[in-house]
Amino acid sequence: MRLEQIQAFLTVAETGSFQQAAKRCNVTQSTISRQVQTLETVLGVPLLHRTSHVKLTVAGECFLPRARKIYQEWNSATLELQDLIEGKQPELCIAAIHSVCAYQLPPVLQRFCAEYPQVQLRVTSLGSDRALKVLKDGLVDLVIVMNNRFLTASADMVVDHLYTEPVQVLMSADHPLAKSETVPWERLVHYPQVVFKDGYGMQRLVQEQFQRQGVQLNAALELNTLDAFRGVVRQGELVALLPQGAIADLHLDPMLVMRPTNDPVINRDVVLVTTSDRLQIPPIKRFRELVQQQMQLNPLQFSDKLVLN
């Protein structure tokens, strides 16, 4: 069954004439006749009484509303796809790690909303592994996360490296470790830590590093927001391994300090991930470009203090 066969049947049913149907469809009368005959062969029943004024058979009357629905659904589908290709999608869904949502994304979001006011932009803050999963499930269009090569290895994934940042130890200003310029791993292991919950790339990175050191991570508490990390660490006993960019305004809090680890220093790579088919859609392609431009114009620079240009 082909769409033009259904269209031919509907047009004949509406005009009551093969000749008028051919004129409306801008084809020959024999083409219309052949299309209707083929449709009848496929369905196994005659649909029309071929008299001076064509009338529907009982089967034709039964099939008519179904044919209209099929044709309308096809037209609706093609219009929706055309809108998608032209960038007229109703919404764009983004997932990103907390630090990116707080510090890097705001100017990108403002520019995108100005360029695509008709697109509803939805941004969710998620852990890296969870964000990559919902991207694969089709629940979001693009993610900005800590890289996980195991989750981004498929051929349809497009991965853009954005920046690399060091992981440091967040602690209260009066913590014993704060007296040192760097924190050796053999000292760090003696203190209880606040860690991210499952689904966050940082938890996996920290766990893997402790395993490489051959020591047990003393995870006293699991959290999932940067404000919660700051509030707990500020109390004085617990410490946390966090990417330096996650606390970009640390210099405004005299009760907290960050110290780098040594031997080894840990880094995390932050990437933008989407799929090749999504990049055919103009708003998604443009959002990716805006993120790349933002990182080029305002790169993160890491030293003893975070500088956000």
CATH number at residue 297: 3.40.190
304: pLDDT confidence band, cut at 50, 70 and 90?
very low
Mean pLDDT of 260-270: 87
Quote the pLDDT of residue 307: 33
For residues 35 and 68, membership in a common domain is answered with yes
287: pLDDT confidence band, cut at 50, 70 and 90?
very high
3-state secondary structure 178-205: HHCCCEEHHHHCCCCEEEECCCCHHHHH
Query: Rounded to 10 degrees, what is the CA torsion of 65, 67, 71, 72?
Result: 10
Res 233 pLDDT > 70: yes
301: pLDDT confidence band, cut at 50, 70 and 90?
low
Q: How many CA atoms lie within 13 A of 9 on its CB side?
A: 32
Tell me, yes or no, whether 91 lies in a domain: no
Tell me, yes or no, whether 90 lies in a domain: no
For residues 203 and 260, membership in a common domain is answered with yes
For residues 248 and 282, membership in a common domain is answered with no
By the 10 Å C-beta count (0-12 exposed, 13-18 middle, 19+ buried), 24 is classed as middle
Which neighbouring-strand residues pair with 270? Answer: 146, 163
Token couple for 99? 């630090």
Tell me, yes or no, whether 282 lies in a domain: yes
Token couple for 198? 């499952």
Quote the pLDDT of residue 60: 87
Q: Say how many domains are in the chain.
A: 3
308: pLDDT confidence band, cut at 50, 70 and 90?
very low
pLDDT in tens, 33-84: 898 999 889 899 999 988 878 889 999 899 999 999 988 888 877 777 776 6
Q: Which residue, chain included where needed, has tokens 């590093």?
A: 209
Res 306 pLDDT > 50: no
Distance CA 45, CA 64 (A): 13
Closest listed residue to residue 87, CA positions, set 274, 276, 278 = 278
Tell me, yes or no, whether 31 lies in a domain: yes
Tell me, yes or no, whether 69 lies in a domain: yes
305: pLDDT confidence band, cut at 50, 70 and 90?
very low
Query: When comparing pLDDT for 265 and 159, which is higher?
Result: 159
Residue 155 zone, left/alpha/beta (φ > 0; ψ -120 to 50; rest)? alpha
Res 199 pLDDT > 90: no
Residue 298 sits in which domain range?
96-160+274-308
Mean pLDDT of 5-11: 88
- Range in 52-56, 106-110, 266-270 the model is least confident about: 52-56
Res 309 pLDDT > 50: no
By the 10 Å C-beta count (0-12 exposed, 13-18 middle, 19+ buried), 213 is classed as middle
Res 248 pLDDT > 80: no
Q: Indicate the length of the chain as a whole number.
A: 309
224: pLDDT confidence band, cut at 50, 70 and 90?
confident
Res 182 pLDDT > 80: yes
Percentage of the chain lying above the pLDDT 90 cut: 44
* Helix H or strand E segment including 175: none
Long-range contacts of 72-77 (CB under 8 A, 24+ apart): 74/3
pTM: 0.71
**Phi and psi for 157 in degrees, rounded to 5?**
-80, 135
For residues 247 and 173, membership in a common domain is answered with yes
Closest listed residue to residue 159, CA positions, set 257, 273, 73, 270 = 273
For residues 29 and 155, membership in a common domain is answered with no
Mean pLDDT of 78-94: 74
Distance CA 10, CA 5 (A): 9
Quote the pLDDT of residue 300: 64
Tell me, yes or no, whether 214 lies in a domain: yes
Q: How many CA atoms lie within 13 A of 178 on its CB side?
A: 18
For residues 192 and 254, membership in a common domain is answered with yes
